[in-house]
Structure 1
Amino acid sequence: MKKIESYKIKEVEVHFKSDFKNGLTEQEAQSRLEKDGKNELEVKKITPWWVILLHSFIEPLQVILMLAAIVSIIAPAAVNNWKVSLHDFVDFIVIMLIVIADAILETVQTVKARKSVDALKSLSKPRAVVLRNGNQKEIAASDLVVGDIVILEAGKYVPAELRIIESVDFMIDESILTGESVPVEKTHNPIKETNMLADMKNIAFMSTFTTAGRAIGVVIKTAKESEIGKISKAINDNDQEQTPLEKKLTKFSYWISCIAGIIGIIVFVSLFATGKSENGAWISYLMVSITLAIGVIPESLAAVVSITLSFSTKRMAKNNVIVKKLSSVETLGSVNVICTDKTGTLTQNKMTVQKVIYNNKIVNAKEYIAENNKLQKDLLLKALVLPNDGVTEGEERIGDPTELALVDYAELMNIDEQKYRKMYQRIHELPFSSERKLMSTLNQVDDKKIIFTKGAIDQLLKVCKKIIIEDKIVPISESHKNEILKSSMNLSSDALRVLAFAYKETNNDLAKEEDLVFIGGVAMIDPVRKEAVWAIEQAKSAGIDVCMITGDHAITALAIARDLGLAFEKSQVISSDELEKMSDEELTDKIVNVRVFARVNPEHKVRIVSCLQNKGFIVSMTGDGVNDAPSLSKAEIGVAMGITGTDVAKQASDVILTDDNFVTIMFGVNEGRNVYQKIKRSITLLMGFNLANVLSILIISLIIKVSPLEATNILFINLIVESCLAIAIGMGPLDNSLMKQKPVVGKNGLLKGLAFSILKIGIVSAVFTVLSFFIGMMATDTVYWAKKITELSAEQSWWQQIKLINSLQQLDDYIITGRTSMFITMVISPLLFAHLIKLSNWKADKKVSLLISKPLINASLIALVLSLAVMFIPLINDKVFKLMGFGTSEGWNANNVWVLFSALGIAFLPFISILLIDIIVFYSYHLSIANWDKNQKLVAELVEIDTKEFHNKKKK
């Protein structure tokens, strides 16, 4: 069956049962509208806020916390013959408040991000001019039906997919669909059947933008049947996968739950095997094991992760990065390949005159402004704006980008194109055509009629008889033409688009392109953003490969890539023709060395992303057009443009840039890397401190057969002290040294690289915590009470006396000084060594950058104040937390006040020990490195310097 683009005009009319002269009747249009539906793209159903909230409660870590909360009620009930008091619900309430707060925080952030995305969408609804019942009328584009006759003119969006049936110099910017940065000329004539969208010259695609001329088209597809509709539907049908952070957190949750269960079982079996055998003793052992298991779980981790991500998303929003999903922040920091669109992201998305050809030489456009060739410059200025339909009014720019570039250049020389056009009225014109590749206008200039012609330099030279050299008009020779063509070829090889200008005085009222005088030419390009060059250099130093994907031709793409410092050889460029010939295996093998993909289709982009993912890369894809949407959805992190981006692209993306700048992506990468490091530092603190708690409680429990701490003590330490510090780490300043490191490739868990730090904190802290407990026990009357009961002689050692504690009844009432001493050490020591965890990435440099974190300092003070309140406020200290109080026999007095100072002194010992260990590790890593390693580093640095110098020379 023939395709629509190959149909003749009459065949199109018959096929769609339309009337090209009068259009559809209102009745027929309404009938088709009811049958086919509105001309609107399908919108993915928005997940209600309450569903997001409920989903937050079933995440693995949250489920574990809720189970821990339930256990916190069951455990004491089992000890007290299943009698439950209000006090037993304290742990449950605290844990559930943490779970609820975290769920609310995640829900609020997700909804806020969604609102930010919605705010970027266009508020105006598109309209269309149609022919119905023989009359032109404007209707909502959503009411268009197949067979409608639509009138198009410059500056309007194409409201549906059209087969053009009439056109006059009609051009469309199809960059959102095909990726081509230059508008394409459309025709109403039949063409050969093709599958390439860029080659369908008689089809106007929905949501593309008309830049010049006018046309009439018949609607052939609407809504989901159009090309943009098909892409939109594919995006909506895609299932959203978990981000790397979500996968790591899920895996981490399973590991923690398994470890907690194993520890609980081991502790219970150990106590049961070595402890008392009386009836009911096993319940006490079960309580200890459950308490230890709960102590392993970092209850505040979910809240820490959410708050850290939320804080980063707010900071990113202020820097033009809107994150639609919290966990996408970390994903952005993990990418090691960025596939980026060219136009608007790496370039300015604005054609700009760079060079000027005059006097048979090439000069810089800025230098030309200062030239004094009065005649030549005056004629060139008129030629820039008179045979030109581009208009700029403030922020509004209408017309072909090439013509707008000429207008902009004229404005740099203080020329107002609108005043010029009023002053020098157009009498006649010869529109641009693809056959002639020229455009001419006849203008009244003072008392003269002058023809101004612009167009392709080779075609223009064919109709020129003279040339302006040094402000004199002389016959043009073959030598002149050869020099001009040579200059043009040199400029074209650098991907500059060359336009030439000529003029002729005439007495006729018609513009004839013959016997013209060559004025000169200009070369223009969509220049690279200067900041993009810096950003790509930063990406390289961060170990991130940047690939440019564009609809432009290979020569243009390579020239831009050279200016960006992205690619220098033809071997680093692959065009769509080569892609079509390659198998997926061949492309996967070659793709690592490719930096530019030119003239690609949407399906090519998806294939490129897939091949990179098959190589094990974490891929970020940037784009703004509908053609980018499938690859945005396919990549681990899709980045859409907020200014030029289509709604479909924004819908498919994970992150939106509100300034369309590649530099902003690198800011997001830096933020993402910092987020991941902050989360890992928080985990180091939480797990290290939890390990210290478990080890110290386990050691003491094995000795005295009861838990030295109450559940409320552990919950306070875990949920207040640890949370304050961990959250503050997440709110700390950015560590820019992370951008000097390569991203970690492959599947890595959250605990990878943290084992040494966690063990260091856990073991060192546990040793001093146990020491603090037994030193505190020296101040209690328990030992002396035991001596009195058992009538022990004074010759027995202190250690032998401690062993007698096992035989005491209601022992937990007699270890209050040891518990208090232990508690003081456990809440004060992390306030100190938490500041060591926030050091900058010490592996990056021999100089350690001490990041002053005000949030961490403030959090330490808050945790200290709360801890002092718990220890010294009556009723709270002794009744709730079972610590030493005031005014009781077990309370503070002149004989035991020294315990306070000894506990504080011991709290400083983990900090000092960990600091000494870090100094030794730092010294061994940087200063004791073997000479062979030093030489290897030096060689690598020299190779990198030589490589940069080589590329800079090639670039010049």
Structure 2
Amino acid sequence: MSSPEDRRSTAPAGWHLRGAADALASFGVNPATGLAPDEAACRLKTDGANELRSAPPTPVWRKVLAQFQDPLVYLLLAAIVIAAGAWIAEGAAGAPVDAIVVAAVVLLNAALGLAQEHKAANAAAALRSMTSASSTVLRNLERKVIPSADLVRGDILVLSEGDSVGADARLVAVNQLRISEAPLTGESEPVTKDPRTLGGVVPLGDRRNMVYRGTAVVQGTGRAVVTGTAMDTEVGAIAGLLERTKAEPTPLQKEISGVSRVLGATVIGIAVVVMATIVLVNGVSSIDDLRTVLLLGISLAVAAVPEGLPAILSVVLAVGVQHMARRNAIVKQLHAVETLGSASVIAADKTGTLTRNEMTIRRIITASGQVELTGTGYRPEGDVLVNGREADHPAALYEASLVLTGGAVANDAQLKERDGEWEIQGDPTDAAFLVGARKMGAAAERVRGYERLGELPFTSERKLMSALARNKHVGNLSLVTKGAPDVLLQRCTGLQIGDEVVPFDRVRKDKVLADVEVLAAEGFRTLGVASRLFTEGDLQEPDVLKEADEVSLVFLGVAGIMDPPREEAAAAVAEARRAGIRVVMITGDHPGTALRVANDLGIAQQGDKAATGAELDELGEEGLRLITGSVSVYARVAPHNKLQIVDALQAQGHVVAMTGDGVNDAPALKSADIGIAMGITGTEVTKEAAKMILTDDNFVTIVSAVRQGRVIFANIEKFLRYLLSSNMGEVLTVFLGVVFAGAIGLGGATDENIAVPLLATQILWINLVTDAGPALAMGVDPELGDVMARQPRRITDSIIGLRMWSSIFSIGLVMAAVSLLSIDVFLPGGLVEGNDSLEVARTAGFTTLVFAQLFNAFNSRSETFSAFHRPFANKWLWAAVVVAVALQLAVVEVPVLQQAFGTASMDVLHWGVCVALASAVLWTDEVRKVGCRVIRRRPAVLHAG
């Protein structure tokens, strides 16, 4: 066995020039057994994980520095300089309180930003681990599916249709293997592979005896020995390009950033107006006055812009996506959550998604009668009945045995028993034949008598699969073909009746097709089985099959396979319809089978028809638009038909979610707004193409994900409403306080030239205490109303519409009014006569605004539901509010904080007035919500009348 140093020193680019035996010997591996687990673990430890080198992690100091690279932070830093400069100009007496407080705010904001960024990064890393690719390898004679990151040099890769190649490897054996190398070479046409050794200078695209990491198997099977992993792969050679690629912001992030920029520009303009108004009304006669004006303007601009919005959005989306993953829906891209809430059509596969994917052969129809197998699932137990009775019927039993034998020989699945439970590896339809053969002992015995030599793999275009097998006892060769009955019949010239073969005339073929229609109408999936006996010299290469060999077949019979609908799927379909989402079924099965299942699930109604792929191919653009607008069941479709359906639905303005599992489904999944791959039966290629993966392959999970996506989007609306309305309250409080300073008694309350309702440090405190905590808590708010009772949100709709802006302004206006009123209540003069100092009155206004924002947190949980609807459902919101109240108590009553923030202690009466006035934000919004609910109900009342 070669040493690790020898293995690493071999240039990966030269393996195509060396023989397969040489590669196997170099890595000390037997292609029939694979590596031993201990040896694989040792190599993994030596060579490292099979992962591309990513950009080095950003140092902590850079992350910290990044928190200060923001225009709003620049404003705060300018405020520090202004405050410190004024303190020095005034003789540097005492401590520069304003400068220290603003600096503390900057540091605390940076700490919060770092924490939010860290949480979002951890959530994203967790999602990446859930969607990591896997590969099938041979270890100690046993096939194992392992993470591709655990592949090592010398591993024997087992390749089949739909696999994503996990490492560079030298082919050892192939069977009709074709690989799509477009990600590596840009060549769209799949490459037919051949394990023979090449010579001379061979470009990458012509190395037919190699497979490369990141490419996809589109047809056939093969085995290859891994020659390069991680950065020693062809993809690794260009990994530097990936390291320089920056992640694009999602559409929602772009919209939020745009809102922040517009709001920032608007508020800076308002801040300039406020400062100019102060100067015009009060004048500036000293450096201290100038400092007050500048600090107030800067603080107002900083506090009014929710600069933490992008970070909060990332955290909320990431946490929400993790929650969805725990419910079997792994969303690979955060922006797919936005799209989920807008889905108006779900185009779902039948098998496994809407059905249980426990394929069971229940009936076999042959020339001599009908054989029924009882039992369900993969446990090989059940009775064999002929024409509904246990009576012996040798001819029918013999023919049924041949059908099961053929289906079990032309087969790539495995059936195993573990701890008393039977499980399969491979295609469920293939597994159904293995189970059926075991139920009929004679068939199982026949299967053991054959040695399989070669195969022609199943493809969606051919709808057939063939295998060449040698009879161990007699030595002759047999070709066994199974597939769609209507396709298979065209290749058959004989019919098996008992132990004889008779000509297969038109009458007999029509009888078979009629039997197929009966089975399909009863909900069975149908597969025909045929065979051909080869004589000496018929095959020039006995281990190589060609499509030309699939002729002159003897038809054995039809197997009726039942895959019962999932019990919970009908309720999920009804839930989707209630949410305004249309459900469409797409399947390769017979139209009768598809319609039967669709009727049982409520996707189609009695009398509806199914459209076939052949019918779609004959339609033009207008015809496709018409048929996709009305038909909900599509049968016998080819992969390109799925793409036709998706494109036609999208052209009608629908947001389409499409499921798929096969390699040929990848184009449709990429084209769909939400491509959904099956986590159990799906290929690696479809998982890479999809935006979402179902770990349980269940349609119910799709509907559940749509619900969760709508909840997440509703929560984003909640914290946007909260942040923007609260910040609007701060802006209006300062602006109106300056404009109406005389009316509320603020103008004559001090000998100072400048009198403002709130100090700069107080504004920054409000922004710090009331923004992040409640907003994050609202991001995980449970569902309050029935989000599935609404129609899908249009993807083009702005999240912050005119109605939300009007709500933001009205709530901000109420906040400003009650905050200024609390100042007026305690100040001498003004609208209400008081007798407290300016410090106490300003503290009351400051506290009222904080409490008003906390009341607003409960308002913002719903646009129409009362704040008293399930008030304790969100424990995190209550925790954030309690913390904010405690901090406000401290800043008002703790002496050192009083000095820093210009506050004064208040008695119980003062606190009571502040809370009572702040609660007006709650009550006024409750009145507005009552009006909204009345208006929403009015059309229904008028209609009823």
Please say whether Structure 1 and Structure 2 have the same fold, judged by a TM-score greater than 0.5: yes
Deviation of residue 257 (structure 1)? 0.9
In the alignment, the residues of structure 2 paired with residue 819 and residue 429 of structure 1 have an alpha-carbon distance, to the nearest angstrom, of 90
The correspondence of residues 646-795 of structure 1 with structure 2, limited to 5 A, is: 646-647=683-684, 649-651=686-688, 653-702=690-739, 703=741, 704=747, 705-735=754-784, 737-739=786-788, 740-778=790-828
- Residues 151, 215 of structure 1: 8 Å contact kept: yes
- Residues 87, 96 of structure 2: 8 Å contact kept: no
2:322 matches 1:311? no
Task: Note closer, same or farther for the CA distance 1:917–1:364 as it changes in structure 2 (3 Å cut).
Answer: farther
The size of the alignment, in residue pairs, is 805
In the alignment, the residues of structure 2 paired with residue 900 and residue 97 of structure 1 have an alpha-carbon distance, to the nearest angstrom, of 27
Deviation of residue 629 (structure 1)? 5.3
Instruction: Give the AA of the match of 1:285.
Output: V
Render the CA deviation track for 1:98-136: whole Å, top value 9, x for unaligned.
34433443345335533553465467685799xxxxxxx
In the alignment, the residues of structure 1 paired with residue 336 and residue 161 of structure 2 have an alpha-carbon distance, to the nearest angstrom, of 40
2:854 matches 1:831? yes
Render the CA deviation track for 1:281-333: whole Å, top value 9, x for unaligned.
45433333333222312244345324422431332232123344545433433
In the alignment, the residues of structure 2 paired with residue 284 and residue 159 of structure 1 have an alpha-carbon distance, to the nearest angstrom, of 64
* Aligned position for 2:283: 276
Instruction: Give the AA of the match of 1:599.
Output: A
The correspondence of residues 87-106 of structure 1 with structure 2, limited to 5 A, is: 87-106=98-117
- Residues 113, 311 of structure 2: 8 Å contact kept: yes
In the alignment, the residues of structure 2 paired with residue 760 and residue 416 of structure 1 have an alpha-carbon distance, to the nearest angstrom, of 79
Task: Note closer, same or farther for the CA distance 1:682–1:629 as it changes in structure 2 (3 Å cut).
Answer: same
* Aligned position for 1:882: 902
Deviates more, 1:677-686 or 1:876-885: 876-885
* Aligned position for 2:887: 866
Query: Which consecutive unaligned segments of at least 5 residues does structure 2 have?
Result: 1-15, 27-48, 141-150, 183-191, 195-207, 377-382, 458-463, 532-552, 742-746, 748-753
The correspondence of residues 305-704 of structure 1 with structure 2, limited to 5 A, is: 305-338=313-346, 344-346=352-354, 348=356, 351-353=359-361, 355-357=363-365, 371-376=388-393, 382-383=401-402, 386-387=405-406, 388-389=408-409, 391-394=414-417, 397=424, 402-409=429-436, 421=444, 426=449, 462-465=494-497, 484-491=512-519, 496-499=525-528, 521-524=558-561, 529-545=566-582, 552=588, 562=598, 568-569=608-609, 577=617, 598-601=637-640, 605=643, 618=655, 620=657, 622-624=659-661, 627=664, 637-647=674-684, 649-651=686-688, 653-702=690-739, 703=741, 704=747
The correspondence of residues 253-292 of structure 1 with structure 2, limited to 5 A, is: 253-276=260-283, 278-280=285-287, 281-292=289-300
- Residues 400, 557 of structure 2: 8 Å contact kept: no
- Residues 726, 856 of structure 2: 8 Å contact kept: no
Instruction: Give the AA of the match of 2:902.
Output: K
Task: Note closer, same or farther for the CA distance 1:157–1:697 as it changes in structure 2 (3 Å cut).
Answer: closer
Task: Note closer, same or farther for the CA distance 1:357–1:443 as it changes in structure 2 (3 Å cut).
Answer: farther
TM-score normalized by structure 1?
Answer: 0.66
- Residues 616, 624 of structure 2: 8 Å contact kept: no
Render the CA deviation track for 1:532-571: whole Å, top value 9, x for unaligned.
5544443343334556677x48959965984665575456
Deviation of residue 267 (structure 1)? 1.2
In the alignment, the residues of structure 2 paired with residue 577 and residue 405 of structure 1 have an alpha-carbon distance, to the nearest angstrom, of 32
RMSD value over aligned CA atoms? Answer: 6.3
* Aligned position for 1:911: 922
Instruction: Give the AA of the match of 1:50.
Output: T
Deviation of residue 383 (structure 1)? 4.7
- Residues 467, 517 of structure 1: 8 Å contact kept: no
Render the CA deviation track for 1:648-689: whole Å, top value 9, x for unaligned.
555555444333334323333222221221121112122222
In the alignment, the residues of structure 2 paired with residue 523 and residue 79 of structure 1 have an alpha-carbon distance, to the nearest angstrom, of 89
Task: Note closer, same or farther for the CA distance 1:681–1:157 as it changes in structure 2 (3 Å cut).
Answer: closer
- Residues 57, 103 of structure 1: 8 Å contact kept: no
Task: Note closer, same or farther for the CA distance 1:150–1:353 as it changes in structure 2 (3 Å cut).
Answer: closer
Deviation of residue 592 (structure 1)? 6.0
The correspondence of residues 21-60 of structure 1 with structure 2, limited to 5 A, is: 46-50=54-58
In the alignment, the residues of structure 1 paired with residue 505 and residue 75 of structure 2 have an alpha-carbon distance, to the nearest angstrom, of 92
Pairing partner for 2:301 from 283, 286, 293: 293
Deviation of residue 928 (structure 1)? 6.8
Instruction: Give the AA of the match of 2:885.
Output: L
- Residues 737, 841 of structure 1: 8 Å contact kept: no
- Residues 169, 211 of structure 2: 8 Å contact kept: yes
Q: Give the greater-gyration-radius structure (CA).
A: 1
In the alignment, the residues of structure 1 paired with residue 930 and residue 560 of structure 2 have an alpha-carbon distance, to the nearest angstrom, of 60
Query: Which consecutive unaligned segments of at least 5 residues does structure 1 have?
Result: 1-15, 28-40, 130-139, 178-185, 189-201, 445-450, 469-475, 503-515, 784-797, 806-812, 886-890, 939-956
Task: Note closer, same or farther for the CA distance 1:868–1:237 as it changes in structure 2 (3 Å cut).
Answer: closer
> SS in structure 1 opposite 2:575?
helix
Instruction: Give the AA of the match of 1:375.
Output: D
> SS in structure 2 opposite 1:754?
helix
Instruction: Give the AA of the match of 1:252.
Output: V
Instruction: Give the AA of the match of 2:813.
Output: I
In the alignment, the residues of structure 1 paired with residue 164 and residue 798 of structure 2 have an alpha-carbon distance, to the nearest angstrom, of 47
2:840 matches 1:817? yes
> SS in structure 2 opposite 1:716?
helix
In the alignment, the residues of structure 2 paired with residue 868 and residue 113 of structure 1 have an alpha-carbon distance, to the nearest angstrom, of 37
In the alignment, the residues of structure 2 paired with residue 323 and residue 481 of structure 1 have an alpha-carbon distance, to the nearest angstrom, of 48
> SS in structure 1 opposite 2:894?
coil
TM-score normalized by structure 2?
Answer: 0.67
Instruction: Give the AA of the match of 1:496.
Output: R
Instruction: Give the AA of the match of 1:724.
Output: G
Render the CA deviation track for 1:899-933: whole Å, top value 9, x for unaligned.
333223223333222212221221232147672xx
> SS in structure 2 opposite 1:278?
coil
- Residues 127, 141 of structure 1: 8 Å contact kept: no
Deviation of residue 94 (structure 1)? 2.7
Instruction: Give the AA of the match of 2:516.
Output: S
Deviation of residue 392 (structure 1)? 0.7
Deviation of residue 774 (structure 1)? 0.7
Instruction: Give the AA of the match of 1:712.
Output: T
In the alignment, the residues of structure 2 paired with residue 282 and residue 905 of structure 1 have an alpha-carbon distance, to the nearest angstrom, of 35
In the alignment, the residues of structure 2 paired with residue 565 and residue 671 of structure 1 have an alpha-carbon distance, to the nearest angstrom, of 23
- Residues 172, 225 of structure 2: 8 Å contact kept: yes
> SS in structure 2 opposite 1:753?
helix
Task: Note closer, same or farther for the CA distance 1:150–1:921 as it changes in structure 2 (3 Å cut).
Answer: closer
Deviation of residue 818 (structure 1)? 0.9
* Aligned position for 1:857: 878
- Residues 154, 210 of structure 1: 8 Å contact kept: yes
- Residues 610, 631 of structure 2: 8 Å contact kept: no
* Aligned position for 1:941: none
